Chain A
Amino acid sequence: GQSLEQPSEVTAVEGAIVQINCTYQTSGFYGLSWYQQHDGGAPTFLSYNALDGLEETGRFSSFLSRSDSYGYLLLQELQMKDSASYFCAVRDLGDSNYQLIWGAGTKLIIKP
């Protein structure tokens, strides 16, 4: 079957660094995406990893290890506005169609 695991909630302090992990099990893995969603808002795309390694975009970085079926999102210099839910989503090539399979999300709580 296909499954994604990520922590339901993570708490961190403003200005600190936090890592949100994601492990996955899929049949036709093609890449790992991360999306951010504020309460009541729409998911917004953060990053995509198709190959092993670290991708950096400003304060956010995303890492992928295909051999370990594992990835993480790293947020640096945390700001209060980073309080949101973060979803990992696997791009899976099933039946010749690129499906996006979503995790349940990690709620990031930032304390001053």
Chain B
Amino acid sequence: EAGVAQSPRYKIIEKRQSVAFWCNPISGHATLYWYQQILGQGPKLLIQFQNNGVVDDSQLPKDRFSAERLKGVDSTLKIQPAKLEDSAVYLCASSLYGNQPQHFGDGTRLSIL
């Protein structure tokens, strides 16, 4: 079975610019997650989707971050405008349902200059 696909793998932008990340989960997985992982820390959940509905976005900085999963399959995460503290790896994960093990993509390493 194909794993979780993410792109781009790396991204370098200047502060105040915008950036978007794309994720395609494992086929048939209803639940999709976006995490932010700062170097030396554990992943921090930004948003969780169940099919195309948002289940949890309590830790998403909604003034600059947005995410969508319009058809209940792939998803995009956007940051606009970016701040220096947004430098991190953005991980996408999926699971069959919300209480099942999560499968992660390789992530997008974002550097803000």
Contact = CB atoms under 8 A, between A and B. Distances in A.
Contact of B43 (A91, A95, A99, A102): A102
Contact of B104 (A43, A91, A98): A43
A80 B107 CA distance: 24
Contacts of A48: 101
B113 to A, nearest CB: 20
Contacts of A105: 40-42
B45 A100 contact: yes
Interface residues of A, number: 20
Given A97-B55, A97-B56, A99-B45, A44 B104 contact: yes
Nearest to A46: B101
Contact of A100 (B40, B102, B103): B102
A102 B42 contact: yes
A20 B91 CA distance: 24
Interface in B82-107: 91, 93, 98-99, 101-107
Interface string A13-50: 00000000000000000100100000001111100100
Interface of B: 4, 40-45, 48, 55-56, 91, 93, 98-99, 101-107
25 contacts: A33-B101, A42-B4, A43-B43, A43-B93, A43-B104, A44-B104, A48-B101, A87-B42, A87-B43, A89-B42, A95-B56, A97-B98, A98-B98, A98-B99, A99-B45, A99-B56, A100-B102, A102-B42, A102-B43, A103-B42, A104-B40, A104-B41, A104-B42, A105-B41, A105-B42
